[in-house]
Structures are given as C-alpha cells and as structure tokens.
Amino acid sequence: MDFMENAFLKTAANYSVVVLCMVLFLAVFELVTRYKNWVEIKNGNLSVAMATGGKIFGIANIFRYSISQNDSLLMMVMWGIFGFVLLLIGYFIYEFLTPKFQIDKEIENDNRAVGFISMVISVGLSFVIGEGIE
C-alpha cells in the first residue's frame, strides 16, 4: 500500500507540510513589513492582527486549493509556494498603488481601515490565486 493512499496519513502529511510552510511564509512576511507582527499583536494592535490574519487565511486558502488539485505532496508544495509568491507580489502591488501613504506605517499605527483592506486583499487574492492552481 502506497503511503499517500491512506487518507489519514495523507491528511497528516498535508497538514504537517502546510503548517511548516505557514511558519516559513509568515516569517517572510515578517521580514518585508516594517513592523513586528507578533509584538504588535501582543500589544493589541488590531490592524496588524487583521492584516496578519488575512495573510494566514490567504496562505491556508491557497494550500486548500493546492491540496484539492494535487495528489503528490511535492506538487502540492510547489503550487503552494507559487501561490504564496503571487500573494507576496500582491502585497507589494498594494503598497505601490497607494503612494499617498505607506501601508505598513498605517497598519503599525493601528489604522483599522487600512488593516481591514489589507486583510480583504489577502483573502480575495487567495481565491483568485487558488482557482488558477492545477
């Protein structure tokens, strides 16, 4: 019996890999933002929590599509990484398209409107990205 034919083992493998990727991808987001996500969240910054929550949802949603479209763990991870890169590009485009103010600075200052829009952009893009996964 092939390892990945067992539904329980396949689910555990997918889960484990996605959790590791989630930690890695959140670390990348931590590097590209001007603020420290977990410090700000600990201090009660709702805008950072919304933006980070949107990123978490976005990453998880991309992997949901990747898992449903791929039988191979390797292909699932590759599509998940590709989807994350697209999500990251979306983050930079969002920053670029708002030249009147700096997104990261507004989120760090707990501008909840900006935090909310950031969350919705991450969630929305994850559905678009996910739909393109094969």
C-alpha separations of 93 from 67, 71, 89, 90 in Å: 27, 32, 6, 5
For the chain, the average pLDDT equals: 94
Is the CB of residue 94 less than 8 Å from the CB of residue 35?
Answer: no
Q: Judge residue 39's burial from the number of C-beta atoms within 10 Å of its C-beta, 0-12 exposed, 13-18 middle, 19 or more buried.
A: exposed
Q: Structural domain boundaries of the chain?
A: 3-131
Q: pLDDT, tens digit, for every residue of 26-61?
A: 999 999 999 999 999 999 999 999 999 999 999 999
Give me the pLDDT at residue 5, please.
82
